[in-house]
Structure 1
Amino acid sequence: MPDLLSHAFIAFTLCTLLSLRFDWLTGEYVTVGMAGAFIPDMAKIKLLVDSATVEAALGVPFDWLGVHTLGGAFVAVLVGTVVADRRDRRRVFGLLSLGAASHLFADALLLKASGQSYEVLWPLTRSHPPTPGLYLSTDVWLAGVTGAVAVAVSLAVQYRT
């Protein structure tokens, strides 16, 4: 759970900072960016529905891990963009993409025993880039740090406006 909360704080911070530059980036749009940060973790659906079950139902090879890659997140962002109001699609696309990209970037920094990250750039490449191993996804301190930064940025932006 600290991992998901940290992703929300990171997206909130990025979107709030961008709101200084773009007047249209109000609270509702910040929420869209935060929702984008949850997209890659839709792969956790595998805890409820096994990949083999979906594969049997569709009749094609399937793995939930694909959602937690650049290609899978891009497809999910496109779906989110299509269901948005026509006038907001460009903004929604950009903010969902920002949130998903921040999630993928943060997860690429995770500590892995192999020293290699996952196939984050799939389908562009199947390589496992090296990871600096800065933290574990279960580290509670990360949620505290990202939360404190989010609060500080929020207060600074409110003070400035």
Structure 2
Amino acid sequence: MTDSSPALDHDPDHDASAASSGDEVIQEPRLWHKDGWTARVIKNEDDDGWAVEMIKDGEPEPALVGPWTMGRDKKNPKPLDTNAFNTLVKTASEVLRRHEQQLHALLHKRLSLETAEGDVEVTLDIVPDEYEPFALLSALDAYGEQIAQVRVAPNFKLTKARAQSWAEGGFGRIE
């Protein structure tokens, strides 16, 4: 009977995307894949040392690239282990979470107004379409019901003064 499992001695320059197929667990000195993440120890292009990259399954770019410790021989990298892999997953996940929060903050703005009709929330949601980006300016009443929505340029700057002016103008179209 032949063994169809992957070879244990992978090339250190092995393409991490190949390791990320399915739920296969790989635990090699320079390549680990588990729970949707691949850690790969690579030669540091900037000096004689080593680096480690963390790639989330399905992503084209690493979420994290950082220096990696030399082994005892001061020539080869220290092998990956469970603790190191878990720490790298935690750190890379945090980097992705902060990136998502930053992107959300850039694409979604919200402010509150007091109008004669009551409190109003004004939101600006940018739709970063590759070919025709745009933004939606919306007004919501105190119950969260939409009062108005208009399409605006993706570079529209939402300020309290502009929102107030829009409200005072009856939430009409903005040029």
Normalising to structure 1: TM-score of the pair?
0.27
- Please identify which structure carries the higher helix content: 1
Higher relative contact order (CA 8 A, sep 6+): 1
Normalising to structure 2: TM-score of the pair?
0.26
- Please identify which structure carries the higher strand content: 2
Q: Pick the structure with greater CA Rg.
A: 2
